[in-house]
Chain A
Amino acid sequence: MPGVGTVYRWELFKLRHQKRTYLGLGAAVLVPILFVLAIHLRHHHDHGGFAFSDYLDRSGLAVPLVILLFGAVWMFPLITALVAGDIFASEDHNGTLKTILTRSLERWQLFVGKALAASTYAVTAILLCGTVAVVAGSLQSGFNSLQSLSGTIVSAPKGLELVYVSLLIYLIPIAAIVCIGLLLSSVTRNSAAAVVGTLMVSLLIQLIGILPGLTGLQPYLLSTQFNAWQGLLRTPIDWSPIIQAVWVCALYAVPAIGAAFVVFIRRDVAGG
């Protein structure tokens, strides 16, 4: 019997045959390479004073962490939105929603399969970017120990483990971005509007965080949760930002995915 698994497998198959998938994954691969190239071409070692900047020349493991720091602004939201914002809207664009809705699958099964596929793509992009950053960074600066944010030295293998756990923590706000992308994709029925809209929502939330008088909102902004992984890089591990990221992101993700679900289930398929 066909079910969510069937939809999920075919959605992944479809993603493998679409240019936008490779655009996103290509960016996830290229950005760390370009970043490492930029480090290599610099003649002095002043990298600016942000977290792990001093370690860029001493340990390749600092590279993925720095990319996580800056990628939150627009790169990862955009890469995520490329698929999440498109996955329902492209069905409207191609007129294929009516084709798949008249087969033997319930709408909820199609929705869940598509949401899982968009999430899988986002996870793949983040992990791919992190892995390329580790490899490229290690080639440039060596696979060396890393200094935590508390000043303690972490061995290279332990550092590698922390990098991957950080990537997983980073997926919490990314999941919220996926949900917002799915909502806009479902509501706007327009791929470009959904992709750009998702990015704009992400940027808007960051903008709110820097507006004078609104700094009190920062703990509850999605943009803040992109830094939750830094709790792992403290000794002892500070779990509070990670726990906060879970529930704050849920506040964004659950209503968004819920609304996307209701819209998709109830909508009239009058076009295409």
Chain B
Amino acid sequence: MNPPAPTPDSGPATASAAAGPPPIEVRGLVKRYGDLTAVGGVDLTVRSGDVYGYLGPNGAGKTTSLRMMLGLIRPTAGTVRLFGRDPMESVHALEGVAGFVEAPTFYPYLNARRNLEMLAAYDGGGASGRIDQALETVELTGRQRDRVGGFSHGMRQRLGIAAALLRNPKLLLLDEPATGLDPAGMRDMRVLIRNLADQGMTVLLSSHLLTEVEDVCNRVAIVRSGKIVYEGDIAALKRGASTSYWLQTTDDQRALAVCRAQPGISDVRSEHGRITFTADDSAAGVLSQALIESGALIRAMAPQTVTLEDLFFSYTEGDGPAAEVDPPPPALPAEAAR
């Protein structure tokens, strides 16, 4: 997909909005359907310029939260503010806000352009003049006269982005935008979101595709059973997790003893033909020296990269970042050296 062209009145509100209310501020958001609690007290703040990942397994309440943020569902309790405005009070709260929940939907009996023309008419304020650019951005110019009823899922997703861009948004809420896309489509969607963010657009991206979030987001909230279990920077989330290493030597028995005796080294285990342990960078350096001195020569030693996926599962299935991270399968020394 093509990067969206900046328009004179488009884009970065970062500097100006930074002083004002945050693009999204959610406090104590609850939605109950009878006995079922779909969202159980969500608090989150999306700051200006954020590309904010809203992560959770299916059924965690992500879509319901997004619907409340867009004023489609009335919360049972709590507040949503978009740039300080309540979307349940007036549709004017959605000024500068666009996006879609679940799959973007259109009138199947109208062509893509007619759909956009209608939505632009409903937006007013010069949205009609952005139709061509929006279609070009999502590479649907050549299919604009085709009925949406014949569009593939990926094309509808792209048309959904185009419909959102018509509003010249400062805040974009996207619910699972890459779901159902083929790998190329997913890559294109990530590129598009990055480009939009580069232009200063604040993006809230709901997803269960962890690579997608890890690639494009700077901050993340992890939701579990309708409640936020983590909110913050992805980098801080990763830093907060213990760094573990794996090690292969010429004499694993001796190395095991050295590891257990070494200060700053913990959680030492021998499994899958390798030794694993937890340490910070300096302790790992001292350990390598001690191993050489002991005669257990290092064949390979490498940190086990903590991915967002590891952390996600530790939050959504375990007890948080302290939960155990599964070791990767045994790697060849050459692989570890890369």
Contacts and interface: CB of A to CB of B under 8 A. Distances in A.
A104 interface: yes
A269 B110 contact: no
Contacts of A2: 121-124
Contacts of B71: 101-102
Contact of B122 (A7, A14, A94, A272): A7
Interface string B95-135: 10011111111111110001000110111110000000000
Contacts of B91: 101, 103-107
B72 interface: yes
Contact of B123 (A95, A103, A106): A103
B274 interface: no
Contacts of A7: 122
Contact of A96 (B98, B99, B107, B167): B107
Nearest to B108: A94
A106 B67 contact: no
Report the contact-size class of chain A (Cβ under 8 Å from the partner).
20 to 34
B90 interface: yes
A98 B121 contact: no
B109 to A, nearest CB: 5
A99 B102 contact: no
Contacts of A18: 109
| Chain B interface, >50% SS class | loop
Nearest to A270: B73
B104 A272 contact: no
Interface in A92-146: 94-96, 98-107
A95 B95 contact: no
Interface residues of B, number: 35
A99 B121 contact: no
A247 interface: no
B67 A270 contact: yes
Given A98-B100, A102-B72, A6 B109 contact: no
B64 interface: yes
Interface string A1-25: 1100011011001100110000000
Contact of A17 (B100, B101, B110, B163): B110
B70 interface: yes
Contacts of A102: 70-72, 94, 98-100
Contacts of B95: 104
B148 to A, nearest CB: 10
B105 A95 contact: yes
A268 B124 contact: no
A104 B105 contact: no
Given A99-B100, A272-B105, A104 B110 contact: no
B135 to A, nearest CB: 17
A38 to B, nearest CB: 35
Given A99-B105, A270-B67, 18 more contacts: A7-B122, A10-B121, A10-B122, A14-B109, A14-B110, A14-B118, A95-B103, A98-B101, A99-B100, A100-B122, A101-B71, A101-B72, A103-B94, A106-B90, A268-B72, A268-B74, A270-B64, A272-B105
The 5 A-B residue pairs with the shortest CB-CB distance in the complex, in nearest-first order: A95-B105, A103-B122, A269-B72, A2-B124, A268-B73
Interface of A: 1-2, 6-7, 9-10, 13-14, 17-18, 94-96, 98-107, 266, 268-270, 272
Interface of B: 64, 67, 70-74, 90-92, 94-95, 98-110, 114, 118-119, 121-125, 163, 167
